[in-house]
Amino acid sequence: MTGFNSRNIDQLHPAVARGCREFILRMYVAGYADVGISATYRDNAYQDWLHAQGRTRPGNIVTNARGGQSIHNFRLAFDFFRNIQGQAFADRTPEERDFWDTAGRIWVEMGGAWGGNWIGFVDRPHCEYTGGLTLRNLQNGIQLADSHLMPWEEETKVRFNTIADLPEWARAEMQELINSGTLQGVCDDGNLDFSLDMVRTLILSRRMIDQTLGLCPKPHKGHAP
């Protein structure tokens, strides 16, 4: 093996590193506490070594990108896997497929691109975010500003004033909190004025309390704030 291949999230561009950590959190909320992260940065030498697999080296072809042709080479992509021995990339049963489908949906909702949606060379363990920059832009030295925010970060600044304003996944549970009187004194005038983080914290707290008291089952995998 030649070259450098990192699993360190801090090797990613700051915006993608924050996105990667938020992705892990959202997967945990969705019922998957076993997400592993790899390939946060590959140098060109390692990319060429990987490209040779299935061509001039034994093994299956895992990439069509040579050095300098992969988003991993620009710190704007990472791979993920299921951190369970013998099941890292298992994708046969409905439960195994749900792991990948849930992860892909979450990353796309956050504003990124998921390799599972690609046509041709499908890459379900792959997540990337380029902020609109093309591979040619990156190869020409154009960089994403360190101050750049991913779309999900912009969304956290939004304030929700009514149930109808909330994301669809939050409406029913927030309405239940209001109906039960849990939020009495907080939104008695019908004006929520909640951030996304506040909504998520309220819903997660309610779920944890209900699960502790045995009042409800664990949230369905894939139903994630």
Q: Is the pLDDT of residue 7 over 70?
A: yes
**87: confidence class by pLDDT, cuts 50, 70, 90:** very high
pTM confidence score: 0.74
Q: How far is CA 163 from the centre of its chain?
A: 25
Mean pLDDT across the stretch 132-155?
A: 94
Which CATH class for the 5-150 domain?
alpha beta
Q: Is the pLDDT of residue 26 over 70?
A: yes
Q: Determine the pLDDT at residue 188.
A: 55
Mean pLDDT across the stretch 112-130?
A: 96
Q: Are 143 and 132 in contact (CB under 8 A)?
A: no
Between these two residues, 223 and 81, which has the higher pLDDT value?
81
The CA distance from 6 to 188, in Å, is 51
Q: Residue ranges of the domains in the chain?
A: 5-150, 156-213
Give how far Cα 47 sits from Cα of 63, 143, 182, Å: 9, 20, 54
Cα Rg of the chain (Å, integer): 20
Return mean pLDDT, the chain: 88
Q: Determine the pLDDT at residue 19.
A: 97
Q: Determine the pLDDT at residue 135.
A: 97
Q: Which helix (H) or strand (E) holds 127?
A: strand 126-128
Give how far Cα 140 sits from Cα of 1, 41, 69, 106, 218, Å: 28, 18, 12, 31, 49
Q: What digits encode the pLDDT tens for the residues 163-179? A: 888 877 788 888 888 88
Q: Is the pLDDT of residue 4 over 50?
A: yes
Least confident of 26-35, 43-52, 127-136, 196-205: 196-205
Q: Determine the pLDDT at residue 218.
A: 47
Q: Determine the pLDDT at residue 2.
A: 83
Q: Is the pLDDT of residue 225 over 80?
A: no
Question: Most confidently modeled of 86-95, 147-156, 188-197?
Answer: 86-95
